Amino acid sequence: MNRMINWKEINKSWTLFLDRDGVINYEDVGSYITRWEDFRFYEGVLDALKVFSQRFGHIFIVTNQRGVSKRLMSEADLQDIHSQMLGMIEQRGGRVANIYYCIDLSDESPCRKPNTGMALEAKRDFPEIEFSRSLMIGNTMNDMIFGKKLGMKTIFIASNRPAPQLPDATTDAVFASLHHVSEQMIQ
């Protein structure tokens, strides 16, 4: 199901923002991935990231990671997961420009989605980003709200949470996985 996304207009002038848990890798709702040994890519994600790398100018991961502040893992553990994840993505021909993460516990934190701090940090680091030429892909309504607050197109991945019914003010399209999104892009 997709509306309002013109796939043909997406080119290197566009930016892709991706949530991590439940989008790139398996997630058990309510628990945390605290070490690399527990991280498992969804099927087709590495191939999808290769496709996205050919279409988008920049790809960023924006992820809430309050497990660090809950002391379920250290920030070094999180960075190890991200380092190994990026290594596998690059080995398969994909690329991610940067990972922005928020470890804050408070939902009021400016960096915690649906607040826009991580995207604004990306814009400071990469001033050429235009949010009106950006796509946010996530698996929660907070991801959708995050994208819409900045004027992005949004895609909900219905991996482990119920998808919103379209039409929805914050969601432009619903797909089962990143792999399905990448298939739509290459048609």
Please tell me the CATH superfamily of domain 8-185, with its number.
HAD superfamily/HAD-like (3.40.50.1000)
Residue 89: which of 135, 138, 51 has the closest Cα? Answer: 51
Tens digits of residue pLDDT in 61-91: 999 999 999 999 999 999 999 999 999 999 9
Question: Residues 22-27: what's their mean pLDDT?
Answer: 96
d(CA 25, CA 18): 11
Q: Is 19 a catalytic residue?
A: yes
Contact criterion met (CB below 8 Å) for 158 and 139: yes
Mean pLDDT, the chain, rounded, equals: 95
Residue 137: which of 56, 74, 80, 65 has the closest Cα? Answer: 56
Radius of gyration of the chain from Cα atoms?
15
pTM of structure: 0.96
Q: Which of 21, 104, 143, 172 is catalytic?
A: 21
Residue 3 has pLDDT above 90, yes or no: no
Q: Is 28 a catalytic residue?
A: no
